């Protein structure tokens, strides 16, 4: 007896072109065979401004909808919409909506990105790794450390060279890392020659097992400038230890303006301008992002002829206020640690108060070029020109994007402003991200757009689309800091 095999149908939503049996899903976990038809497993997501910010996701129930709505209230995102691929056809949804009396068209599609990655900003003074160091996940190279910014360490992860230019495991791990980061999941990353850090968008970083709490108030010099007047009359000298610029109040311009007397202090390191020192120690996980645990190691012998004297008091503090110590010079002009006077406690607390919470920021970055534009218009270059001319607005899951000047449509979006699980993948490997192009209807026609495929919002809500009729509504995400 011959066993009957279930009939499979081919899914053409990506280059893998899976054959999917009834009731099964494809390799991407995004498309399934339901009743002999390829459907999108996740519902189409509609932003509903009538839902309070932060409200729970709820299903959009047609039975509860009376057919009336304001076009301004609803925005059809690409999350769950399906794809233009193969791109000879119009986008899954081309939605007409009236805004302030003007007929706008929003073209909605889930785009397949091989040219994409994330830029990660990690608020920490702790040294994660040298610029250019390779960043790994599960042992595979997924990116590198890039130029540090003020109070933050930066990573560039992903990109076509990691996704498709290396080994299969490298491409697979890179794709998984990008998707998890973009979907706001926690990912453990290791830096060659550096630290291990757990990154999650909108959450504090965890560096070598230690959860960060504060982003530094500024470099050592900036801290001196902000708080010198708070210390005047309470202590003879203040040193703010920082990996980049260590500040010394008696030498600093702020101290001089206040009439601060010389103390005879000497700092190891490269003097920049008065009261500002570079390279006082190596980068690390200690005081102010240096590798030191004892701040006295950055001091040289005190000079009596320059003002050093027994009993002179010294406060040493980090740029977050997390580390501090108080000293008095003995008869040999050696600093001896003493309890912090209560009069100085408010100034240390003030540094901590002025530190913002340490967070990880993940920006999705992708090049929205190639053939996906033909799902918008029959003449793809016109879409690029319209975007660069600021006539067409690009959003990512309803979130605003920054579009880079110059050729192409290279965009960045903050993933914390997007609906949950906005990102997917295809096993080529590549990232799938929601993309919406919004343009006045008249301009859309001038672009050579697929005007015959335009539908109004009410029709979309009532009938769904090619990949199914399931809908959900979410409240727009507002970024909080």
pLDDT in tens, 118-156: 999 999 988 999 999 999 999 999 999 999 998 899 999
Instruction: Check residue 49 and give its pLDDT.
Output: 75
* Whether residue 458 sits in one domain with residue 335: no
Q: In the prediction, which pLDDT does 85 show?
A: 82
Q: Three-state DSSP class for 364?
A: strand
| Confidence label for 230 from pLDDT (cuts 50, 70 and 90) | very high
* Domain-located, residue 284: yes
C-alpha 225/C-alpha 245 separation (Å) is: 12
Confidence tier at 481 by pLDDT (50, 70, 90) = very low
Question: What tokens appear for 57 in the block?
Answer: 């996701």
In this prediction, what percent of the chain has a pLDDT beyond 70? 93
Claim to verify: residue 179 and residue 224 sit in the same structural domain? no
- Answer whether residue 2 is part of any domain: no
- Are both 177 and 247 inside the same structural domain? no
> Does 68 share its domain with 57?
yes
Question: Into how many domains does the chain fold?
Answer: 3
The answer on 185 and 121 residing in a single domain is yes
Q: Based on the domain organization, do 229 and 298 belong to the same domain?
A: yes
**pLDDT at position 68 over 80:** no
> Is 339 inside any structural domain?
yes
Cα separations in angstroms, 169 against 139, 211, 429: 10, 30, 10
Q: Are residues 277 and 362 in the same domain?
A: no
In a domain, 232, yes or no: yes
pLDDT of the residue at 57: 44
Confidence band, pLDDT 50/70/90 cuts, at residue 69: low
Residues 199, 52 share a domain: yes
Q: How confident is the model at residue 59 (pLDDT cuts 50, 70, 90)?
A: very low
Q: Are residues 208 and 227 in the same domain?
A: no
Q: Is residue 201 part of a domain?
A: yes
Q: Answer for the pair 386, 429: CB distance below 8 angstroms, yes or no.
A: no
442: helix, strand or coil: helix
Reported as a pLDDT band with limits 50, 70 and 90, residue 476 is confident
Pair (57, 27) in one structural domain: no
The residue range of the domain holding 400 is: 42-213+357-481
d(CA 319, CA 260): 21
Average pLDDT, the chain: 90
pLDDT, tens digit (0-9, with 9 covering 90-100), for 308-325: 999 999 999 999 999 999
Does residue 3 belong to any structural domain of this protein? no
In tens, the pLDDT along 430-456 reads 999 999 999 999 999 999 999 999 999
Q: pLDDT, tens digit, for every residue of 7-53?
A: 888 988 888 889 999 889 988 888 889 988 888 888 899 888 776 55
- Could you tell me if 329 and 347 lie in one domain? yes
Mean pLDDT lowest among 92-106, 183-197, 341-355: 92-106
Q: Are residues 270 and 165 in the same domain?
A: no
């Amino acid at each position: 007896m011959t066993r009957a095999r279930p009939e499979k149908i081919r899914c053409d939503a990506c280059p893998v072109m899976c054959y999917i049996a009834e009731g099964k899903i494809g390799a991407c976990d995004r498309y399934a065979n339901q009743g002999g038809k390829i459907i999108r497993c996740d519902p189409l997501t509609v932003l509903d401004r009538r839902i309070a910010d932060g409200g729970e996701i709820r299903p959009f129930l047609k039975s509860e909808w009376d057919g009336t709505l304001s076009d301004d209230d609803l925005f059809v995102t690409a999350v769950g919409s399906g794809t233009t691929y193969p791109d000879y056809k119009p986008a899954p949804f081309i939605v007409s909506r009236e805004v302030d009396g003007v007929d706008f068209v929003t073209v909605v599609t889930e785009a397949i990105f091989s040219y994409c990655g994330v830029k990660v900003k990690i608020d920490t003074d702790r040294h994660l790794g040298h610029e250019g160091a390779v960043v790994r996940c599960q042992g595979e190279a997924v990116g590198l450390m890039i130029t540090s910014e003020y109070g933050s360490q930066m990573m560039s992860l992903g990109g076509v060279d990691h996704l498709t230019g290396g080994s299969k495991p490298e491409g697979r791990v890179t794709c998984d890392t990008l998707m998890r980061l973009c979907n706001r999941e926690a990912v453990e990353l290791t830096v060659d020659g550096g630290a291990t850090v757990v990154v999650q968008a909108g959450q504090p970083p965890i560096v070598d097992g230690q959860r960060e709490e504060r982003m530094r108030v500024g470099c050592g010099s900036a801290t001196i400038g902000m708080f010198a007047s708070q210390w005047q009359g309470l202590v003879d000298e203040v040193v703010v230890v920082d990996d980049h610029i260590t500040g010394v109040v008696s030498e600093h311009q702020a101290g001089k303006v206040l009439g601060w007397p010389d103390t005879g202090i000497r700092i190891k390191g490269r003097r920049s301008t008065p009261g500002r020192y570079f390279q006082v120690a190596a980068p690390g996980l200690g005081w102010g992002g240096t590798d030191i645990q004892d701040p006295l190691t950055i001091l040289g012998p005190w000079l009596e002829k320059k003002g050093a004297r027994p009993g002179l008091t010294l406060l040493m503090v980090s740029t977050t206020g997390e580390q501090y110590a108080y000293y008095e010079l003995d008869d040999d002009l050696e600093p001896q640690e003493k309890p912090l006077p209560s009069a100085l406690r408010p100034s240390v607390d003030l540094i901590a108060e002025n530190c913002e919470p340490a967070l990880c920021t993940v920006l999705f970055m992708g090049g929205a070029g190639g053939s996906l534009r033909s799902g918008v218009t029959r003449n793809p270059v016109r879409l690029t020109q319209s975007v660069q001319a600021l006539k067409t607005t690009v959003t990512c899951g309803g979130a605003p994007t920054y579009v880079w000047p110059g050729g192409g449509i290279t965009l960045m979006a903050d993933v914390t402003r997007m609906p949950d699980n906005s990102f997917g993948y295809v096993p080529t490997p590549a990232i799938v991200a929601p993309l919406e192009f919004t343009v006045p209807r008249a301009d859309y026609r001038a672009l050579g757009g697929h005007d015959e495929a335009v539908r109004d919002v009410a029709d979309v809500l009532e009938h769904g689309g090619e990949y199914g009729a399931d809908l959900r509504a979410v409240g727009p995400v507002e970024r909080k800091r």
